[in-house]
Structure 1
Amino acid sequence: MPDSYPVVSVIVATRDRPGLLERAVTSILQQDYPGEIECIVVYDHVDVRDLDVAAGPGRSLKLINNTHRQGLPGGRNSGADAATGELLAFCDDDDIWLPAKLRRQADLLADPAVGAVSCGLRLRGPGIDKERVLDRDVVTHEEFLEDRVMEVHSSTMLVRRSTWEAAGEVDEQIPGGYSEDYEWLLRVSAHTPIAVVRQALVIVDWHGGSFYFGRWATIVEAQRYLIRKHPDLAQSPTGMARLRGQIAFALASGNRRTEAVRELAAVIRLNPREKRVLVTVPVILRLMTGERVLRMAQKRGRGI
């Protein structure tokens, strides 16, 4: 436990979702964290509006516009520019923090060797209520090369400002902002292993949909951009098969069948056991649409 708790700046990027946004901000301001919390709500190219929430002692609320490129990455970067805290955190505007989140994570950051901390989460939505908590205390860069590690969600992250500066801001050039969180985590984990609080302290609003649902061309471009930017991904055949499997699925779902077959052949060479092969083949054969496969996966709290 630290002698004193540093100021935490929490960034909430939003396109303005009344009700959900207030719920997220309230959960941030009502943390049982002993130090100060600065919550920065960044409106992404929409008018700033007041929020009907009480800040309370040791809590402050800033409402600003996204001054960077339109989209989630730009919103998060605008918030980081405006932040004054020694520690930085992010929360999606439809997620909820449980009261102990920041305190439990800050206790781990009392160790100067720790540069970033995540925690478990709970998926909650229509037809689903399940916890996803890792069975280990640290996630390494090598593990992120092999797998996305979905338990390390953007809303779970707390990092030192020095970690943010070393890793760099969220990439605003990635097509459509797709996988921006994973791309950033690759850079963070290359700088420092990510410690884990083995408790579900974030509720992720799992509504069975996504901003990227059906935007197959954007997904293909973004994943290829990711592979080009991070050549170290090639160190893990399993991880590369996962990414190229996502590309194959998106190509098939977007009716680019010839390209999908070529991509799928590369996936099989990398890892014949890659699970996305089984879900992509029916889409290539037009036995099932990509949208249907994705909906089935999301009902189980998964993605493709």
Structure 2
Amino acid sequence: MESTPKSNPSETSITAIVTTYDRPKLARRAIRSVLAQVHTPTEILVVEDGTDSGVEAWLERGKHSTVQYIRHDRNKGLAAARNTGLERASGDYIAYLDDDDQWHRDRLKKQVALLQQLPRDQRDQVGVVYSLHETKYPDGTIVSSEGNCNEGQLRDAIVKQEKLTTPPSSFLFRMTALKNIGGFDEQLSSSIDHDIWMALADAGYHAYYVDEPLVINSKEGHDSMVTDSAPRIKGVLQFAEKWRPVFQKWVGDRRGVEFIDRYVARVLAQLSGEKAGKGEWREAIDVCLRSFKYSVPVGQNVRLQVDRICRGVARRLLSRSIRRRIKAALNLE
């Protein structure tokens, strides 16, 4: 393993928090990417959510005295794991990393540089700095997320773009902002990143982003921590009910309802596409049908569902084709 990080001379103190649940191989990779940062975090916390996967022993063998290990006595969910890290953190900023993601070496360096370039009055309004990300698929394909992100005052950006930009594992939150809004909502079974975005927006915070991918989300042969559709759908609907009144306050009753219904339709389309991509057609169809219960124009919803399902199937077929070619080239078939 890497050597213990040296202290960081920067005035910007950062607590890096890695959350993990029963995926030791992925967790080790994620932690390595934190230890390799050019801008060394002031402290590193690893929160294991109710499992004993061997991560603690691995850390002890590496003799990383700067890495603090915390384990829940039972599985409490991602929101609770993040809140546990927040409670223990001492940095001015909090950088979260899910165990199936990893950071580029200059992730923190570039985000801190952006912060330091802001005038003092703008920096005082910041709730979060983030970046684009890239997704790596089993066939080796890497797809980078696009720009056009929420920037400036979050409320205005969300209303204007009608979307919530929450790239996984790229958040650099201001500690005081997270505590002012009460941290992550542990009652939600999913959609917690969108929820924290809305909480920051409703509290008047601003967001800025580095316009390049600084985080890698890997889809290489592992399942998401939430693979069952039911809790994901439940979380989306909880989010919708929680924030519908706020959207209505922001943009009016009718537009607020349409806004939240389009949100639900987009998220369900993404979920049905993921299920189709895994060949889980029964769940994909069930999720697809549920999306038509909302006040999104039928034609628009059909196009959305078809687009996401076709993308999922295309990735699955492409991945299989490339694997067969590699095996053939190596005479493994």
Give the 3 Å change call, closer, same or farther, for CA 142–217 of structure 1 in structure 2: farther
Structure 1 partner of 2:28: 22
Aligned partner of residue 239 in structure 2, secondary structure: helix
Query: Is residue 134–residue 198 contact of structure 1 (8 Å, CA) maintained in 2?
Result: yes
Query: Is residue 29–residue 55 contact of structure 1 (8 Å, CA) maintained in 2?
Result: no
Provide the rounded CA distance (Å) in 1 between the counterparts of 2:284 and 2:218: 27
Structure 2 partner of 1:221: 234
Give the 3 Å change call, closer, same or farther, for CA 228–98 of structure 1 in structure 2: same
Matches within 5 A, 1:64-103: 64-66=70-72, 70-103=76-109
Aligned partner of residue 91 in structure 1, secondary structure: strand
Provide the rounded CA distance (Å) in 2 between the counterparts of 1:296 and 1:36: 40
Matches within 5 A, 1:193-208: 193-207=206-220
Provide the rounded CA distance (Å) in 2 between the counterparts of 1:189 and 1:8: 22
Provide the rounded CA distance (Å) in 2 between the counterparts of 1:267 and 1:260: 12
- Alignment match of 1:157 (pick from 159, 163, 171): 171
Structure 2 partner of 1:267: 296
Q: Shift of residue 274 of structure 1? A: 4.0
Give the 3 Å change call, closer, same or farther, for CA 244–38 of structure 1 in structure 2: same
Matched, 1:241 2:257: no
Aligned partner of residue 230 in structure 1, secondary structure: helix
Q: Shift of residue 55 of structure 1? A: 7.4
- CA offsets, 1:163-201, max 9 Å, x none? 111222111111xx3111111121123331210011111
Query: Is residue 242–residue 274 contact of structure 1 (8 Å, CA) maintained in 2?
Result: no
Structure 2 partner of 1:286: none
Matched, 1:38 2:43: yes
- Alignment match of 2:184 (pick from 170, 177, 201): 170
| Count of equivalent residues | 276
Provide the rounded CA distance (Å) in 1 between the counterparts of 2:226 and 2:90: 32
1:122 maps to a residue whose letter is E
Matched, 1:126 2:142: no
- Alignment match of 1:49 (pick from 36, 48, 56): 56
Unaligned runs of 5+ in 2: 1-8, 117-122, 273-281, 318-333
- CA offsets, 1:189-247, max 9 Å, x none? 3331210011111111124753434x333233222211111122354534532314545
Provide the rounded CA distance (Å) in 2 between the counterparts of 1:83 and 1:54: 22
Provide the rounded CA distance (Å) in 1 between the counterparts of 2:155 and 2:73: 31
Provide the rounded CA distance (Å) in 2 between the counterparts of 1:94 and 1:143: 29
Aligned partner of residue 267 in structure 1, secondary structure: coil
Aligned partner of residue 154 in structure 1, secondary structure: coil
Higher helix fraction (1 or 2): 2
1:147 maps to a residue whose letter is K
Q: Shift of residue 10 of structure 1? A: 1.1
Give the 3 Å change call, closer, same or farther, for CA 294–178 of structure 1 in structure 2: farther
Give the 3 Å change call, closer, same or farther, for CA 95–138 of structure 1 in structure 2: same
Structure 2 partner of 1:185: 197
Provide the rounded CA distance (Å) in 1 between the counterparts of 2:84 and 2:190: 18
1:296 maps to a residue whose letter is V
Matched, 1:296 2:296: no
Matched, 1:147 2:176: no
- CA offsets, 1:59-80, max 9 Å, x none? 8200011368611111111111
2:230 maps to a residue whose letter is A
Query: Is residue 265–residue 301 contact of structure 2 (8 Å, CA) maintained in 1?
Result: no
Query: Is residue 5–residue 106 contact of structure 1 (8 Å, CA) maintained in 2?
Result: no
- Under a length normalisation based on structure 2, what TM-score does the superposition of the two structures give? 0.70
Q: Percent identity?
A: 23
- Under a length normalisation based on structure 1, what TM-score does the superposition of the two structures give? 0.76
Aligned-pair RMSD on alpha carbons? 3.4
Aligned partner of residue 156 in structure 1, secondary structure: coil
Aligned partner of residue 115 in structure 1, secondary structure: strand
Provide the rounded CA distance (Å) in 1 between the counterparts of 2:235 and 2:150: 30
